[in-house]
Structure 1
Amino acid sequence: MSHSTPATANGNNSKEFKGDQFPCSPSRVLHIRKIPNEVTEAEVISLGLPFGKVTNLLMLKAKSQAFLEMASEEEAVTMVNYYTPVTPHLRSQPVYIQYSNHRELKTDTLPNQARVQTALHAVNSGGLSNEGSLLHGQSPVLRIIVENLFYPVTLEVLYQIFSKFGTVLKIITFTKNNQFQALLQYADPINAYHAKMALDGQNIYNACCTLRIEFSKLTSLNVKYNNDKSRDFTRFDLPSGDGQPSLDPTMAAAFGAPGLISSPYTGTSGFAHTVSFPQAAGLSVSAVPGALAPLAITTSAISGRMAIPGIAGNPGNSVLLVSNLNPDAITPHGLFILFGVYGDVHRVKILFNKKENALVQMADATQAQLAMCHLNGQRLHGRVLRVALSRHQTVQLPREGHEDQGLTKDYSNSPLHRFKKPGSKNFLNIFPPSATLHLSNIPPSVTENDLKSLFENSGSTVNAFKFFQKDRKMALIQLGSVEEAILALIDLHNTELGESHHLRVSFSKSTI
């Protein structure tokens, strides 16, 4: 049977779908699959807008598919090249784009095309920089300020979060008035609108890195360099600059950026777990060269610039220096349990000659940052804790035959790690220390009085107690102070309560 079988009316002939391969030759008509039911014509058109003029559209809602026609084959190729490593999303659902067997769309005689023509006219009459776009006069560019920046926020992190709301075209990051800021351009103003509505005021991490978002007066960004400060995701041919990208003078005037931030930490290893938003799909960098192979792109386009730097890069430092400890009261186990609320502690070393100081090695840099963010400045055994990143990369265990009085402990295989399972619910329940503790894994035979007595006997003042209505295995207990709660958590987490139940203790976000 010949390979030139014409495509069926919807382009869905079986040849086209063998293992998601691309039809042999590029076409200016693109076939888009898995489109969510409620998506509008304008939203589908917005996928093509960044790459050129969209000349036609055929929506096949019953099949969750669409055909999008670009003005030229070159524009279609650019679009497919862009969306191969970076899966586009519509209404937070991934959609899949490939070349169609059709060379053009003939839709004049089809019903329902009037809406398409209206949408195309609305978009193309203004393009990206128009004032009368889909949301009247609203720019597709957001200005983002990150407040309470305990944790370095990278361009990749912003890309990951904001991609959930639509196609991110360009990002420029900079520091102004001692604040980390960014300008981020979407393909469509509607994406910018949804992202602002959903993300303004949210924390990237619990209790820190708060997003403040407003619409920018700029309607388009001009990015000169692709590096860790600025990126144009539609152009892989831009130079990386010399590490200090200078801004276009008109852009610089627009927001008076004196210089761009140099982030000390470029890794986002482990990041997705603690983000309060679902992780953006399509960031698997290793797959990029392979995915691009069938498209025969010139090698200069794949010369490594497509790999999003930092995603799989240096994971940063995971060792914390904890100082101002009370040497008479502190133990490696106590630090293991307390820091274990914010990540999996692998090793703890109380310094032999200076027992007010300890090193705590976490599973990764993200968890170290999280523990530092939440525990620095808290009171423990009557002292105010100081927590900072250590210059050490690992905590050394004592050499064979050298006893260090039990001051160094290896917990890397501890059964008490809270975050062993990827995607564990514990990642969603990380809160700052508070006087109210969340108790779980309580066996049916244990009463309110049993639990109050347990906490009072360990030295706490119990101010309030409440079982969860729907689930008696869980309860909240409110103690006299945050420091009391910290001490009680160290003391009582994993206490055997009988019936092979061990009490789980964490900080609660709510009070009683």
Structure 2
Amino acid sequence: MFNKGAGNQALVQYPDVASAQAAFEQADHRNMYTDSNLIRVGYSTHHDIKVRANTDRTWDYTKKKTCEGSAPAGPADTTPSSATPSATPSAPPSGPPAVVGPVDSGLKASLRERIVADMPNTWSARLPGTDTCVLIVQGLNMEMVGAEALAALFGLYGDVRRVKMMPEQDSAIVEMERPVQAYVAKWLLDASPLGGRVIKVKSSTQDTIRDVQAQDFTAFPLHGYRQYASPRHPSYLANLVEPTAVLRIANIDWDTSEITFRSLLTQQEGVMGVTRLLPSSHTSPALVSFQSVEAAVHACILLHNQEVDGRLLYVTFSDATVGV
């Protein structure tokens, strides 16, 4: 990252020319957010970027961290003076790269790995580029998505406190319990399909939602992370999966509720198959595959915390592969 007087700029190196060309075609002359942050991309005369250390201005994505939550120490490499003049908005320092448009599963998986690697030991810590608990969600289909749906979806990655819907802008503001949770939700939910559209999620300049018209979810029954002393708790890290076409559904009693559960699934669109992770266990979680990520997102919102014969279903996304 550097600034030569024409705004923030960056050099990004890809493993091959084809990948760089594909990124150029996808990102050039595109707005990072709705009607703002126009990205201009050009080819550089440099053939290689040398990064001696991962810092807030340089990062080598091929290197692993030397220890939990910290990058190798050392001076950062200097910026080449003949860098391309094309300006581009930056991703949060040391954070995952900014994304434009729908994101494929491979990129989202790499984002997840980076998020888990950067996860601090305490909830009070700050992750790069996220100093607020408040997120802006853009591109919403207001006819299909309400505050409760957003609370359920964002609640997969943290405890939602408030949601303010802004129908005139097809947007909403979501306040999480902790900045760490907002960071996770922003990167894993950005460019996800919801209600027939692809939503954009970015950090807000606000530190809280003060609007009295905002819906309060502090007593929301889906909150499940306040009991964890650290964001590095295994149960929290296990849930940090971006929206996929496979749902992991737990807290099923197969002895007494299998018929009810399978009947509930028939009411969801796009179900492809159901697999019990532990066939011999009467409380085994199930993997449910869908025709598309959007169908899985819709089902996740509807099924999470759904009561089945006295037990509440717990639903998360899964990166597992399910045979159909």
Q: TM-score, normalised by structure 2?
A: 0.62
Alignment match, 1:484: 295
- Are 1:341 and 2:156 an aligned pair? yes
1:464 aligned onto 2:273: yes
For the pair 1:392 / 2:206, whether they are aligned, the reply is: yes
> Residues 311 and 386 of structure 1: is their aligned pair in 2 closer, same or farther, counting only changes over 3 Å?
closer
User: 1:440 Cα deviation (Å)?
Assistant: 0.3
Name the structure 2 match of 1:495. Answer: 306
Contact between 1:440 and 1:503, CA under 8 Å: does it hold in 2? yes
Q: What is the CA–CA distance in structure 2 between the aligned matches of 1:312 and 1:485, rounded to whole Å?
A: 29
Partner in structure 1 of residue 116 of structure 2: 275
* 1:171 paired to 2:74: yes
Q: Which runs of 4 or more aligned residues in structure 1 lie more than 6 Å from their structure 2 counterparts after TM superposition? A: 177-182, 277-280, 310-315
CA distance in 2, matches of 1:438, 1:386: 25
1:429 has 2:239 as partner: yes
Q: Which amino acid aligns with 2:245?
A: A
Partner secondary structure for residue 181 of structure 2: helix
Counterpart check, 1:329 vs 2:155: no
Q: Distance in 2 between matches of 1:415 and 1:371?
A: 19
1:146 to partner: Cα distance: 4.0
Aligned partner of residue 205 in structure 2, secondary structure:
coil
Cα distance in 2 for partners of 1:358, 1:339 equals 12
How do 1:196-275 residues align onto structure 2 when only pairs under 5 Å count? 207-208=110-111, 275=116
Q: 1:437 to 1:314 in 2, by over 3 A?
A: closer
CA offset digits 1:407-447 (Å, max 9, x no partner): x2111232311311222613322101111100001124355
Higher relative contact order (CA 8 A, sep 6+): 2
Which digits, 9 at most, give the CA deviation of each residue in 1:103-125, with x for residues without a partner? xxxxxxxxxxxxxxxxxxxxxxx
Structure 2 vs 1, CA of residues 443 and 397 (structure 1 numbering), >3 Å: closer, same or farther? farther
Report % sequence identity: 27
Of 302, 316, 322, the residue aligned with 1:506 is 316
Distance in structure 1 (CA, Å) of the matches to 2:161 and 2:135? 12
Unpaired runs of 5+ residues, structure 1, are 1-140, 149-156, 183-202, 212-273, 284-309, 399-403
Q: Offset of 1:158 from its aligned partner? A: 7.4
Q: How many residues align?
A: 237
Aligned counterpart in structure 1 of residue 69 of structure 2, from 142, 158, 161 = 161
In 2, distance between residues paired with 1:481 and 1:487? 10
Distance 2:172 2:273 in 1: 34
Find the counterpart in structure 2 of residue 39 from structure 1: none
Deviations 1:172-229 (A, max 9, x none): 34575899999xxxxxxxxxxxxxxxxxxxx9x9631767xxxxxxxxxxxxxxxxxx
The separation in 1 between residues aligned to 2:128 and 2:291, in whole angstroms, is: 44
CA contact (8 A) 1:436 1:477 kept: yes
Contact 1:361–1:395 (Cα < 8 Å) also in 2: yes
Counterpart position of 1:316: 131
In 2: Cα distance, 1:312 partner to 1:426 partner: 16
2:158–2:182 CA contact under 8 A, matched in 1: yes
Give secondary structure in 1 for the equivalent of 2:75.
strand
**2:251 matched residue in structure 1:** 441
Query: Would the alpha carbon gap of residues 425 and 147 (structure 1) be closer, same or farther in structure 2, given more than 3 Å must change?
Result: same
C-alpha contact 1:345 1:417 (8 A) present in aligned 2:
yes
Give the TM-score normalised by the residue count of structure 1. 0.41
The two structures, once aligned, show a CA RMSD in angstroms of: 3.7
Cα shift readout 1:264-318 (whole Å, capped 9, x = no counterpart): xxxxxxxxxx6348978xx9xxxxxxxxxxxxxxxxxxxxxxxxxx879997011
SS in 2 for 1:207: helix
1:81-120 mapped onto 2 (5 Å cutoff): none
The answer to whether the 8 Å contact 1:452/1:462 transfers is no
Matched, 1:411 2:217: yes
Pairwise mapping of residues 264-303 of structure 1 onto structure 2 (< 5 A)?
275-276=116-117
Counterpart-to-counterpart distance in 2, 1:381 and 1:421: 31
Counterpart amino acid of residue 339 in structure 1: F
